[in-house]
Amino acid sequence: MGGRKIQHVTVIGVGLLGGSAALAIKAYDPSVRVAGVGRRQSSLDSALDVGAIDTAHLDAAEAAGRSDLVILATPVGAFEQYLRAIAPVLRKGGKHSRALVTDVGSTKSETVRLAERILGRGGAFVGSHPMAGSEQKGVSFARADLFAGATCIITPTRHSPASATSRIEAFWKMLGMRTVRMSPGAHDRAVARVSHLPHVLAGLLMLLPSKGDLDVSATGFRDATRLAGGDPEMWRDILLTNRKAVLSALDAFATDMVELRELVNRGDGPAIEKFLSAAKKRRDSTIARVIVDRRMAAE
């Protein structure tokens, strides 16, 4: 991973993303020791059972003190608790004092400010957001190939050492990801539109129909509402820590919805078809192409 070889990783939160990162690390280099940290022994036992981690810890500081890299993979609302727990051992000095800390959280502005305040500017933390996952929850759904071919957004600030940023990028590339750099603010605005808003809309769609409507729903409704099956605790924290960008995305969507409603109200067939054609063209030239590229890369 960049400069020195990674030998020991601590994953705080061994659910879908944390568990998948641990499995991917072990698949890449079985000699790397992975410590798992969690709130419940049962979850840690499950991670041990699937081979994601080598040791299980309820005490984050105990695990992090021996690590080259610490990955925060809990809901973002729990980050402060764990950052404060590991900060003293990262500052102690000695062999592992230069351990890096990153995360897999979906919001970055508040996360980066929090981490730099607790760990110190110009120090250990560089934010990450692997754009991979599913609506499933728990290490039983973790996969070593979850990140392969996907994009990871790295969010350094002007205080981030270039060497630390490069090492975090190298880590995610090691797991098969493409990396891009964005500022925390630019990241939050982008993912509000392409990740957070779609999740909210999936929830609204799921709550709209009556039970009778749901009895006759088919694949289109299933596909459009898949995201509504996500972890409510995780998504609550995401929406609360990215409020400004999410509100902006909701406002823009509401404006477009009013305009589309007016087209339907007027019975303006040509304008409706133009709207649908523009959406199809954009998807075919972007999202659909990326899906094909990833399938080819996997083969």
Distance CA 129, CA 111 (A): 11
Q: What residues does each domain of the chain span?
A: 8-182
Q: Which of the residue ranges 88-92, 235-239, 242-246 would you say has the lowest mean pLDDT?
A: 88-92
Spacing of C-alpha 181 from chain mean position: 15
Q: Which two tokens stand for residue 7?
A: 């030998």
Q: Inform me whether the pLDDT recorded for 65 exceeds 50.
A: yes
- Burial letters 241-261, b for 16+ CB under 10 A, else e: bbeebbeebeeeeeeeeeeee
Per-residue pLDDT reduced to its tens digit, 66-85: 899 999 999 999 999 999 99
Confidence tier at 4 by pLDDT (50, 70, 90)? low
9, pLDDT greater than 60: yes
Average the pLDDT over 38-47 and give the result: 92
Predicted local distance difference test score (pLDDT) of residue 134: 76
The yes-or-no verdict on residue 292 having pLDDT over 80 is no
Whole-angstrom Cα distance, residue 144 to residue 137? 15
pLDDT higher than 70, residue 120: yes
List all residues 6 or more positions away from 279 whose beta carbon is below 8 Å from its beta carbon. Answer: none
Distances in Å between the alpha carbon of 114 and those of 144, 188, 284?
30, 15, 39
Which residues are bridge partners to 33 per DSSP?
8
Q: H or E segment at 297?
A: helix 287-298
DSSP strands (E only) in the chain:
8-12, 33-37, 55-57, 69-72, 100-103, 127-130, 151-155, 178-181
User: Predicted confidence band at 133 (pLDDT cuts at 50, 70, 90)?
Assistant: confident
**Paired tokens of 210:** 């009556």
The pair of structure tokens assigned to 107 is: 């919001």
How far is residue 156 from each of residues 41, 137, 160, measured CA to CA in Å?
Answer: 34, 28, 6
> Which strand (E) or helix (H) includes residue 33?
strand 33-37
Query: What average pLDDT is seen over the chain?
Result: 91
Q: Is 60 exceeded by the pLDDT of residue 86?
A: yes
β-partners of residue 55 are 35
Give dist(CA 35, CA 93) in Å, integer: 20
pLDDT at 282 (0 to 100):
94
In CATH, what number does 8-182 get? 3.40.50.720
Listing DSSP states for 173-192 in one string gives: HHTT-EEEE--HHHHHHHHI
- Those residues with Cβ within 8 angstroms of residue 198's Cβ, 6 or more apart along the chain or in another chain: 227
C-alpha to C-alpha distances, 13 to 40, 57, 59, 147, 229, nearest whole angstrom: 10, 10, 12, 17, 20
Can you tell me the distance from the alpha carbon of 91 to that of 273, in angstroms, rounded to the nearest whole number?
60
pLDDT at 299 over 60: no
pLDDT at 108 (0 to 100) = 97
- Interatomic CA distance for residues 149 and 173, integer angstroms: 9
Residue 260 predicted with pLDDT over 50: yes
The predicted model scores a pTM of: 0.88
Q: DSSP assignment, residue 139? A: G
Q: Render pLDDT for 173-182 as a digit per residue (tens, 0 to 9).
A: 999 999 999 9
The per-residue pLDDT for 270 is 97
Is the predicted pLDDT of residue 200 greater than 50, yes or no?
Answer: yes
